[in-house]
Amino acid sequence: MSLRLGDIAPNFKAKTSIGEIDFYEYLGSSWGILFSHPADFTPVCTTELGKTAALKDEFAKRNVKVLALSVDTLESHKSWIPDINETQHVAVDFPIIADDDRKVSSLFDFIHPNASATATVRSLVVIGPDKAVKLIITYPASTGRNFLEVLRVVDSLQLTANYSVATPVDWKEGEDVIVVPSISTEDAIKKFPKGVKVVKPYLRYTPQPNK
Ligand code: BEZ
């Protein structure tokens, strides 16, 4: 099944490195990140899962629960985790889904047959508290993702979910944001008391409203 932005992420039950989970129950009212990696005991994946563990406090600060997935078995995940911990100097404690029957991969379209018939690609889906899909990124096996970029996007998603703003190119937390086109400049001036800088009628900046 192909999943698109705005779709409701499907629920599932799965075996994971921390036990059986029901996806929706596990997420509760948190944001969620579900990401696939091609295979256990591979170098790039080892660094990606290590970085995810290292950013545990950053995800927690943003109320995000993280889950990884590959089509390897539970036994494989369990014997790989000590290697990640040892080589990346972390303690992996987020669930890694053992999707050896490809049930979840197929729900989330994590196998791209023209890239690999058997392994999952590097896909990552951000899910909001409403269970709707907010972001989908897909990288090939040969390119590790940038998890600081994932945090940056989460910051943007959480900000823009609550304020009538969008974030410009390369935006980072604390920088000025863009007033969405649907708001008139007159209304923007009332809505954003920190000020509105009009560069063009369609390009208007305001300081980040929740800072
Ligand atoms: C890796 O995680 O290092 C990797 C996995 C599959 C293909 C290439 C690299």
Instruction: Note down pLDDT in tens along the chain; length 211 residues.
Output: 689 999 999 999 999 999 999 999 999 999 999 999 999 999 999 999 999 999 999 999 999 999 999 999 999 999 999 999 999 999 999 999 999 999 999 999 999 999 999 999 999 999 999 999 999 999 999 999 999 999 999 999 999 999 999 999 999 999 999 999 999 999 999 999 999 999 999 999 999 999 9
Ligand 1 pocket test: which of 45, 83, 120 has the largest number of ligand atoms within 8 Å of its C-beta? 45
| Index of the ligand 1 atom closest to the CA of residue 46 | 2
Fill in the amino acid letter for 193.
P
User: And the tokens for 171?
Assistant: 């935006």
The number of helices, as runs of H, and strands, as runs of E, in the chain is: 7, 11
59 within 8 A of 33, measured Cβ to Cβ: yes
Q: How far apart are the first and last CA of the chain?
A: 40
By DSSP bridging, strand 19-22 and strand 13-16 are: antiparallel
Q: What ligand 1 atom has the least distance to the C-alpha of 47?
A: 2
Q: How do strand 96-98 and strand 64-70 relate by DSSP bridges?
A: parallel
Q: How many CB atoms lie within 10 A of CB 148?
A: 12
Beta bridge partners of 25: none
The binding-site residues of ligand 1, defined as CB within 6 angstroms of any ligand atom, are 38-39, 42-45, 141-142
Closest ligand 1 atom to residue 144 Cα is 2
Give 155-184 as a DSSP string: HHHHHHHHSSEE--TT--TTS-EEE-TTS-
Taking the centre of ligand 1 as the mean of its atom positions, its distance from the CA of residue 42, in whole angstroms, is 5
Q: How far is the CA of 133 from the centre of ligand 1 (A)?
A: 26
Cα–Cα distances (Å) from 28 to 2, 23, 149, in that order, read 24, 9, 24
Q: Which residue's alpha carbon is at the smallest distance from atom 1 of ligand 1?
A: 44
Residues carrying an active site annotation: 45
Identify the DSSP state of 195. -
pLDDT of 1: 64
pLDDT for the residue 2: 86
* CB-count burial class (<10 Å; 0-12, 13-18, 19+) for 19: exposed
202: left (phi over 0), alpha (psi -120 to 50) or beta: alpha
State which of 84, 142, 143, 145 you would mutate to test the pocket of ligand 1, scoring each by most atoms of that ligand within 8 A of its C-beta: 142
